[in-house]
Amino acid sequence: MFHFRSAIQTAIRPSRRLFHSTPLSLEKLNVEGLAKKVDLKGANVLVRVDLNVPLAKDDITVTDDTRLRAVVPTTKYLLDQGANVILCSHFGRPKGEIIETGKNGRLTPVVKPLEELLGTKVTKLSDCMGADVETATSKLAGSEVMLLENTRFYAGETKNDEVLSEGLGKLADYFVMDAFGTAHRAHSSTEGVTKHMKLSAAGYLLDKELKYLQGAVDNPVKPMMAIVGGAKVSTKIPVIESLLEKCDTILIGGGMIFTFYKALGYDIGASMVEDDLVQTAADLMKKAKEMGVKLILPSDVVLADKFDNGANTAVAKVTEISGDWMGLDIGPDTIEEFKKEIDECNTIVWNGPMGVFEMSNFAEGTNAVAQMLADATENRGATTIVGGGDSVAAVNQAGLGGKVSHISTGGGASLELLEGKTLPGVAALSEA
């Protein structure tokens, strides 16, 4: 095992307190704060949500309603206040295909599931702006739900087009941002629209994301750990660099480890590697050592003779990889070593799997880490945060989604927040 340890950090014992609420989320108006400031009865509230759900091959059946369920708390709260809720979302990648010719990407499949979850009728429109939409929204009588058509039928959505922003702004007096997964993008429906609203607030989902993720970054209970995995170093360099400033320990897993091993001069066989980032990996290890941060690489790996679940496999120390063998998971010794480190930390952020978890023969490392985080949450009261699509999928696949402190709904947004970046969809909200 390769790691850098400071004597001071070794002596730190974990606290059992949770981190405090994040200042960032507290200074932005949230949905309850909005209801205290203004009377929402009969008012139109445009709510940006994430309805980008997966569909079966029939393009009709929703196969995972996680994002739909996330819409419910904010929507029901607003309905209870007597507000009309106008839901707004992107869906798929229609590439700016205009409404009249758009064949795919319509939000029709989510209507019935939403009605079942909300327990009320959802009226879907065939556009998201224009005279007809304005007329329809002006006739809402109170505590009604209306769903606009996919905002990305307009190419201007991703360009933060002023015409679309203003068009959306004509539909309501107030705006609630509750789509954390798109908060890192300055789009018409996330940032531009706020310029045309009396007040803009964070919904329950967004507020929770900010409290956990920004709280972990700005005011964690020490010791703090980051577990960073995934296939490529290139996608995680900024977040690793940022986390070096905040963490006591960083565990590295996934395909990216082989770029670090090559930087250490080891044979990596046929394992994936980003040759242009070998020096960057070396620099990260050097920086960690200088800062007294434990940056820990796996000591052993599960090897395969081909990229296939039915491949021949073997467990080897990282100094014993050779030939055409490739590493596809962390090994059993590493799992035990990671457990010891996780047991010492009180705030843990995980982004990226430990191996090719989609293949059952190379999922043990990822599943083990998921279980460790669940145990740390339940047994020690640790704050455990899982972000990134693959990590979230792995935790849910293991049936442990409800046993960690928080599962983030935004991959890119999670990473950018952990990197310390300002999210346009958050910065645009009204001050509390």
Is 189 marked as binding a ligand?
A: no
CB-facing half-sphere around the CA of 418: CA atoms within 13 A: 31
Number of H helices, E strands in the chain: 17, 15
In angstroms, rounded to a whole number, what is the distance separating the alpha carbons of residues 225 and 373?
11
- Residue 288: helix, strand or coil by DSSP? helix
Q: Is 130 annotated as ligand-binding?
A: no
Give how far the C-alpha of residue 26 lies from the chain's centroid of Cα atoms, to the nearest Å: 20
Q: What is the dihedral of CA 192, 193, 198, 204, to 10 degrees?
A: -100
Q: Choosing from 124, 232, 289, 421, which is the catalytic residue?
A: 232
Q: Decide if 67 is catalytic.
A: yes
Q: Which helix (H) or strand (E) holds 319?
A: none
Distance in angstroms (rounded) separating the CA atoms of residues 235 and 218: 22
Is residue 68 a known part of a binding site? no
Q: Are strands 145-147 and 84-88 parallel, antiparallel or unpaired?
A: parallel
Q: Which of 48, 67, 106, 262 is catalytic?
A: 67
Burial of residue 371 (number of CB atoms within 10 Å: 0-12, 13-18, 19+): middle
Q: Residue 92: left if φ>0, alpha if ψ -120 to 50, beta else—which one?
A: left
Tell me if 42 is assigned to a ligand binding site: no
Give, for 385, the enclosing helix (H) or strand (E).
Answer: strand 383-387
Catalytic residue among 96, 381, 412, 420: 412
Catalytic, out of 389, 401, 403, 421: 389
Residue 361 is assigned to a ligand binding site: no
Report the candidate in 240, 289, 287, 233 with the shortest Cα–Cα distance to residue 260: 233
90: annotated binding-site residue? Answer: yes
- The annotation status of 84 as a binding-site residue, yes or no, is no
Q: Is 390 annotated as a binding residue?
A: yes
Residue count of the chain? 432
Place of tokens 């790996």: 301
| Residue 67 is assigned to a ligand binding site | yes
For residues 149 and 128, the answer to whether their CB atoms sit within 8 Å is yes
Q: Are 406 and 212 in contact (CB under 8 A)?
A: yes
The dihedrals phi and psi of 13, each to the nearest 5 degrees, come to -105, 145
One-letter amino acid at 281 equals A
17 marked as part of a ligand binding site: no
Check if 96 is active-site.
no
- Binding site annotation covers 152? yes
- Binding residues for (2R)-3-phosphoglycerate, as ranges, are 67, 152, 185
- Binding residues for ATP, as ranges, are 236, 327, 358, 388-391
- Binding residues for substrate, as ranges, are 50-52, 90-93
List the catalytic residues.
67, 232, 389, 412
- Binding residues, as ranges, are 50-52, 67, 90-93, 152, 185, 236, 327, 358, 388-391
